[in-house]
Amino acid sequence: MWSQRSVVDYGLAKRAAVQSVRSGRMRARDVCDAHPYLLRAARFHGEPTSRTCPICERRNVTNVTYVYGDELGRVAGQAKGVAELTEMAREYREFRVYVVEVCQGCSWNHLAVSFVLGTADPPGPSL
């Protein structure tokens, strides 16, 4: 996306959680604990992926994208699609986006990535 910045990838944390389950240090039910609202958001607002769930390995995960920011008002905390993010990036100065991957089969969920969007210029080099 054209205004994406301040990207944080949570892939290492995901890998550690999956490895903990596979090695037996954690039980699958400890990481398959998606809130019913998150599962509902995945069903109605999520975007399907081609990535198989790392826990149950039966279904593909769905990405659910949430937006937060002071300027957003009532929109803050809502699930949004990629097309909506593009429009919002042109309308608002700055807001943070969180992408959560969810398995609707076993309830695995993990924060995948977060980033900032909006019309504001990223901070320049400090002098």
User: What average pLDDT score do residues 84-96 get?
Assistant: 94
What's the predicted TM-score (pTM) here?
A: 0.89
What distance in Å separates the CA atoms of residue 91 and residue 84, rounded to the nearest whole number?
11
pLDDT at 126 exceeding the cut of 90: no
CA distances from 80 to 44, 61, 87, 127 (A): 10, 17, 11, 37
Reply yes or no on whether the pLDDT at 3 is more than 80: no
